[in-house]
Amino acid sequence: MAPIKNTSTVDLSVNIGGITLTNPVMTASGTFGYGREFSQFVNLDAIGGIVVKGISIEPRAGNPPQRIVETPCGMLNAIGLENVGLERFLAEKLPFLRSIKCRVFVNILGDTVEEYAYLAEKLSEHSGIDGIEVNISCPNVKKGGVAFGTIPEMAQTVTEAVKKASTLPVIVKLSPNVTDIVSMAKAVEAGGADGISLINTLIGMAIDIDKRRPRLANIIGGLSGPAIKPIALRMVWQVASAVSIPVIGIGGIGTTEDALEFLIAGATAVQIGTANFYDPSAVNTIISGIATFLEQHNETSLTNLIGSLHTGDLS
């Protein structure tokens, strides 16, 4: 386990929806299990926040195999939102999450506005949960999900419903598969979101040329990993420039430099996703790395870095 640099004098803390994260490095939903899976590789207490795998009211079995394909500098997944459901999450997963010090966000998904609201309400009744991340963007499930994430009015409606049902800070996670990410972001801001996380995966596909069949049983899947970083960074910059609530940057972040790019572009925090798979101690490395970078640049606080991108006279 990589040592965490916490002798640093730099203040890495950030605030999202009224709660303080000791540092801006979180783990992305669906890529870090329920935390426990990584306890041998990461100092869980030191993470800024864990976002757990998306939870629905009822358990979901997910898609048939093959669920995963590697692509150049990325991967496609069509897990199909397999999850244990609300009840088992509360009974089996939450106790361990309560035992660690870092902030815990629960990613939720539903097929209707009512389902989202119900999940938000129930989760608010339990201690050990610091916030809700609303997944309106998963491309793998045919009904519901896609439309919520691509039509501003629907995104706003879900956001409003979740906000109303919940006492917890609400982050809405956006899909990148849209023409105008800024209008999506403004809609969820108008709906009362306390933060916006982006991006979820881009929709992709891979074909087995010998069998002449899609590699994924689901035909299409979500593209993640370093390949998508430039797209994610552009969207985060556009959204951070357009809204006044905190933005959490996600997409292909695997190194300290990657995380710094997103922070400079305007993200208040970042989430590490696919990188956890190939580098399970990435979160630790990045937390230390950000502290070291700030020290080397004589910054006393991370907040000076956030959104510090200069865009004037670039040639």
Partner 1 sequence: MTSIQENSRIKCSEQITEDIFRLTLHAPLIVSQAKPGQFVMVKTSSNFDPLLRRPFSIHDISTDGDLSLLYKTIGKGTSLLSTFTQGMNVDLIGPLGNGFTFSDNQNICLIGGGMGIAPLLFLARHLKALSKESCTHQVLLGARDHRELEPIAAQFLSLGYKTELATDDGSCGHHGYVSQLLPDILPTVQGVCVCGPTPFMAEVARQCRAANLPCQASMETHMACGLGACLGCTIHGSDGAYKHVCKHGPVFDANEVLWPL
Ligand X SMILES: Cc1cc2nc3c(=O)[nH]c(=O)nc-3n(C[C@H](O)[C@H](O)[C@H](O)COP(=O)(O)O)c2cc1C
Active site residues: 138
Q: How far apart are the first and last CA of the chain?
A: 43
Count of residues engaged in binding partner 1, rule: CB under 8 A = 35
Part in contact with ligand X (CB under 6 A); list of ranges 97-105, 143-151, 272-280, 287-295: 272-280
Considering only the stretches 37-45, 97-105, 185-193, 291-299, report the one whose residues sit in contact with partner 1 under the rule CB under 8 A: 37-45
User: Which of 24, 110, 221, 251 forms a contact with ligand X (CB under 6 A)?
Assistant: 251
Q: Does 200 bind ligand X (CB under 6 A)?
A: yes
> Please, which residue, 166 or 256, has the CB nearer to its own copies?
256
| 242 part of the interface to its own copies, by CB under 8 A | no
Residue 228 contacts its own copies per CB under 8 A: yes
DSSP notation for 150-182: H-HHHHHHHHHHHHHH-SS-EEEEPPS-SS-HH
- Contact region with ligand X (CB under 6 A), list: 152-160, 251-259, 261-269, 305-313: 251-259
User: What are the backbone angles phi and psi of residue 163, rounded to the nearest 5°?
Assistant: -60, -45
Residue 1 token pair: 């386990």
What share of residues in the chain are helix, strand, coil (percent, to 5)?
35, 20, 45
- Residue 303: phi and psi, rounded to 5, are -60, -25
Q: What is the DSSP string of 107-157?
A: EE--SSHHHHHHHHHHHHTSTT--EEEEE---TTSTTTHHHHHH-HHHHHH
Across the strands, what pairs with 301?
11
With CA atoms as reference, report the closest residue to 17 among 138, 197, 265: 197
Footprint on residues 7-36 left by partner 1 (CB under 8 A): 30-33
Provide the mask over 50-89, with x wherever binding to its own copies is found by CB under 8 A and - wherever it is not: -------------xxx-----xxxx-x-------------
- Which stretches of the chain bind ligand X, using CB under 6 A? 28-31, 53-54, 77, 79, 81, 107, 135, 138, 173, 200-201, 224-225, 228, 250-253, 273-275
